[in-house]
Chain A
Amino acid sequence: MATTAVTAQDNRVAELNVISRKQRSLWGDALYRLIRNRAALVGLFVIAFAAVTAIFADLNVLGIHIRLAPYDPLEQHGKDGLMEPIWTQAFGSKFTNPAYFFGTDTLGRDNLSRLIFSSRVSLIIGFVPVAIVLAIGLTVGMLAGYVGGVVDDFLMRVTDIVYAFPDLLFVIIIVATLRGTALGEAYDGLLVIFVGIAVVNWVGVARLVRGQVLSVKNREFVEAARAIGAGPGRIMRKHVFPNILAPVIVTVAFAIPGAMLTESVLSFLGIGIRPPTPTWGVMINEGFIVFSTTPWPVLLPSFCISIVLLAFTFVGDGLRDALDPRSKM
């Protein structure tokens, strides 16, 4: 008898606890799940670290000058070419110099400074084209899904064509052919890479958005909104858009490392960013000539790319699990 009384009381306490727990919004809930995911958290820290490094590589705002890079990434220290990182001293390397922590490349440029400045280009390549892709993809996809008709037909035809190309090959063709033009020369070739990535990737986002809109637009809450007299613009903004956001966010999270990878592949092949601007891909390309002499000019940027790409993937995985707990893949 006594035990039942206790459990009954416990149950009531538990009930009260449930009621008094602070309510979280859907997004708050997702954020909580994301932070609980250890791999994603590590990824976020790595990305934050890379971002801080990129921003403070050489920042001069409001009279405050912060500079993380010890040297100018383009400055050539003629006599100090191909220095090895200082820790190789412990393994008997004679070509080290405490002035260059990570050593130098063929032309005597400081590896550490070049790595730091490279993170700038990589992060820009990660975010800018993806933002363009998102803007175009969302607009076209929502129009195609909600309005249908000509926009829809157009989207489907374009998709068929773009899907027939291998992604990377298409980017390579675009970038390779436009390289000689004014567009290809703008900002050391940055602009043409933006264009290449955007042209190839917006279709995927548009198609995803279209599919999502199609599945949402006939649901009851949209009908209800229409019934109380909301216009198409308002329905799209307030009712459809928030409900299709989750898969779009996940796609974007994976598109960012994809774009960075594309840049590094292009630069590695010698048709990406123009030297002497340092990027990890360019560094690998340039260092490859002396690879069998000293591997460090190649190994260091390879490490950086791998770690940053892994970080983004972990965050992407975490986001997917957090936003859609059902699809655990």
Chain B
Amino acid sequence: MFFVALITFTLAHAAPGSPFDRNANRPMTQETIDRINRYYGVDKPIPEQFVIYMGNVLKGDLGLSFTRQRPVADIIGQGIGTTFQLGIGALAFALAFSIPLGIISALKQNTIVDYLSMLVATVGTTIPGFVLAIFLIYIFGVWLHLLPFVGWGSWQHMVMPMFVLGLGAGGFLTRITRASMLEAIRQDYVRTARSKGLHERAVIVGHALKNALIPVATIIGPATAGLITGSFIIESLFNVPGMGRLYVTSILARDYPVIMGTTLLYAFLIMVANLTVDIMYGVLDPRIKVR
């Protein structure tokens, strides 16, 4: 976390130009510039600024936004709810279609069903989200006028962003489910279950699926982090007032405190996700703890 902060801070401040030299037609007097710099604390040497900043972060103060004249924590707090809403919706959608699809294609390996669902999964992971979003906006928004494609609020607004975000993650999850299911149904305990005369469904659900879902469950953590961080293009595209759009606009406006704040938050989310995976492994698969 510390290194993430250090690198982002250095990079952000190494960039030439300042957020205040926008208006070339109306040059500010040196006095004004000095006053602004003092107000935001950017007149001090960069290492000192960094130390002050980190101290404030530990106290929960992320600083003031350069362009919006409001505390960064407030601005992020406003966007994060929307982003989580979007992320969780997308995750739910991804899980809802990827796990059944993965199971079915594993059970019917090398049939047309398998090939079709693998094709869907490959297309889902390969086609960039924003390209997919463009196609959807064109078809449902511009052409059929079925769904609004700008803004946020009603469920109609959520359908397309969630679908686009969920399809990418879902494609990946489908592949994982299929692979681990294929491995699971070839295990000895599945053969044992069959040979003692269990119903086929009981074998699949009770024995194979239970074990096959372990790798899937562990991948959900990073997948969620990926959904939340990966949403910034989708958010900008659909004009969703979330953290991702905030990030993009503040990068374009060189609003360092906001960039810093969001990056730290993203890094934190990723860290949490990775930690969850490690813990999940232990809980789901007691065999790992033994080692």
Contact = CB atoms under 8 A, between A and B. Distances in A.
Contact of B135 (A160, A177, A302): A302
Contacts of B98: none
A168 B128 CA distance: 13
Interface of B: 1, 3-4, 7-8, 11-12, 14-17, 122-123, 125-128, 130-131, 134-135, 137-138, 142, 175-176, 178-179, 182, 225-226, 229-230, 232-233, 236, 247-248, 251-252, 259, 263, 266-267, 270-271
Given A173-B263, A317-B122, A302 B12 contact: no
Contacts of B236: 269
A166 interface: yes
Closest 10 CB pairs of A and B: A177-B15, A166-B229, A329-B179, A180-B16, A313-B126, A161-B3, A302-B131, A177-B11, A176-B251, A306-B127
Interface in A292-320: 292, 295, 298-299, 302, 305-306, 309-310, 313-314, 317
Contact of A271 (B11, B16, B251): B251
B127 A309 contact: yes
Interface stretch (A9-17, A27-35, A257-265): A257-265
Contact of A180 (B15, B126, B137, B175): B15
Interface string A153-171: 0000000110011101100
16 contacts: A169-B229, A169-B232, A169-B266, A173-B12, A174-B11, A177-B12, A180-B16, A265-B130, A291-B137, A299-B135, A305-B128, A305-B131, A309-B128, A313-B125, A329-B175, A329-B178
A203 to B, nearest CB: 13
Contact-size category for A:
35 or more
Contact of A177 (B14, B131, B175, B267): B14
Contacts of A275: none
B248 to A, nearest CB: 6
Nearest to B119: A39
Given A269-B233, A271-B251, A298 B126 contact: no
Contacts of B8: 173
